Amino acid sequence: MKKTFFIIATMFAMAQVCNATNDTVTVIEQPSQVIITETPSGVKVNVLGSKEDDSAKYSYSVEHQANDKMTTSQDRDWELRFPFYKNDTRNHHWAIVMDGFYMGGGISHSWDNINNSFEIGLLNIAAISYDSHHGQGISLGVGIHHKSFSIKRPNMLMRDEATNIVSSSFYPNGVEEKNRTSNLNMWALQFPLLFRQKIYKSLALRVGGIMSWNYKAQVNNHYNIGKTEYNITQRGLKQNKITFDVMGGLTLRSIGIYCRYSPNEVFKKGYGPEIKNTWTLGGTIAF
Amino acid sequence: MKQFIIIILTCMMATSTAMAQKGLNINQLFDGRFKKATGATEIIVTGSKASEIGLDIYHSLSVTDDVQAELVESYVKKDGVKAVDKEVEYRNGQLYYGFYTLKPEKGCKRYIFFLNQNLARKSPKKVVTLIYMEGKASAEKIKKLIRK
């Protein structure tokens, strides 16, 4: 009985699909087998056997029309993607960024005659950055760095013209105590590799290592003797060209604070005082 | 004066959002009851974020609780009856997924999507998801948007 109803329903449905003006109703009671074949071009129904005749056969087919609406069965799972979900992998991205103007002051206890240091720079003139959008990020870039060490009075730095060795000496006799300064200035191209981890909302932690190419170093001395002003610049220092620093900091939106540790010696062995282990604290402004 | 205008605009936006789902059974699920429910996730996106993908409203709800899941399915089925176009798949006598195109309202196309990931063959998860979407985006675009 169930099968009979099924066949009637199928016929009725097919008649609907093909928009037949006259209904076609065929009743086969207790069929032994009903085969429905769906093809891209249409549907075919084969009925085998009936209550009265086991060898009875009935066949009916409907061709799809151009404007038919087809519903296809889906065998594979629906892999859902949330367009606005935070874990949406489409949000992961690489980018070229420019960020991290910084300025800070530091100390080094490695040499008694060092007063303090000051540094300024742009952490990344350009960097390739990956943001996971899970709160993590990584960047590798190139930036510029300038650092200046000031020397404690009454000492000043001098480079020996013959040996290129930088050493501490006293200001010449008769120098006015005011307006006398002696600085060691360094310039570098730096290559920071930084990791970022979001802590809370816009607050993030940044840590990483920085390799610096210290392409330029010079001693600048300034003093007055009487009414004569002296500005002495000495280049050709034997600085360590490649050094490594460690940096860490917190950023909140576009501003932040950082701490930078420079363990390497400024001068090559034997070419100057031992200036190393410098700690610097400062502020950053990201663009 | 500025505050007054902001209040008026906020009210207008809230009213339009509420109007969008008015008359649908699933509207009862978006009354805020799931905002703090354990195992439920509700996401509402309107404005520029939604318009980036051709929608005015994107409202999704994912539940893990069996009772809540049955409730979601029942409301979706009721609204599905009124759909002008539908694509559904049943597995083991249960609604596995349904993509319903509702009658447009004021020129806005409206869609309901339902998925019971517990009936997935590969890696079933005890999550039932309902998404209501409204905007100018076509059904095909919506399907591409929500299918990997």
Per residue in A96-113, pLDDT tens? 666 789 999 988 877 888
CB A139 within 8 A of CB A194: yes
Q: What is the pLDDT of residue A253?
A: 82
Mean pLDDT of A133-161: 90
Question: A78 vs B96: CB contact, 8 Å cut-off?
Answer: yes
| Residue to substitute from A77, A85, A88, A91, interface B, most B β-carbons within 10 A | A77
Phi, psi of B20 (to 5 degrees): -55, -40
Count CB pairs under 8 A between chains A and B: 39
What is the pTM (predicted TM-score) of this model? 0.50
- Could you say which of B117, B120, B147 has the minimum Cβ distance to residue A81? B147
The residues spanned by each domain of chain A are 2-63, 93-285
Q: Do A79 and B45 touch (CB under 8 A)?
A: no
The total of other beta-carbon atoms located within 10 Å of residue A48's CB is 16
> What is the reported pLDDT for B8?
39
Do the Cβ atoms of B55 and B30 come closer than 8 Å?
no
Residues of A in CB contact (< 8 Å) with B are: 69, 71, 73-74, 76-85
Q: What is the pLDDT of residues A192-247, one digit of tens each?
A: 999 999 898 789 999 999 999 999 999 999 999 888 999 999 998 999 999 999 99
pLDDT at A183: 94
DSSP string, B78-93: HHHHT-SEEEEEEETT
Q: Which residues are CB-neighbours of B1 under 8 A, at least 6 positions away? A: none
User: Which sequence spans correspond to the domains of chain B?
Assistant: 2-146
- Tokens 């675009």, located at residue: B141
- Residue B101 at interface with chain A, using a CB cutoff of 8 Å: no
The Cα A169–Cα A211 span in angstroms is 32
- Per-residue pLDDT of A13-36, as tens digits, reads 554 544 444 556 777 777 777 766
Strand order in the sheet with B94-105: B41-46, B55-63, B128-135, B108-116, B94-105, B85-91
Average confidence (pLDDT) over B33-55: 84
Q: What is the fold of A93-285?
A: Porin (2.40.160)
Instruction: Indicate if ipTM > 0.85.
Output: no
In the stretch 30-69 of chain B, residues with CB closer than 8 A to chain A read 43, 45, 49, 53, 58, 60
CB contact under 8 A, A80 and B49: no
Q: Residue B106 — very low, low, confident or very high, per pLDDT cuts 50/70/90?
A: confident
Q: Nearest Cα to A184, choosing from A216, A225, A211, A213?
A: A216
Burial A169-195 (b: 16+ CB within 10 A, else e): eebeeebeeeebebbbbbbbebbbebe
Give which of A88, A216, A247 is closest to B49, Cα–Cα: A88
Among the partner residues B89, B121, B147, nearest to A73 by beta-carbon distance: B89
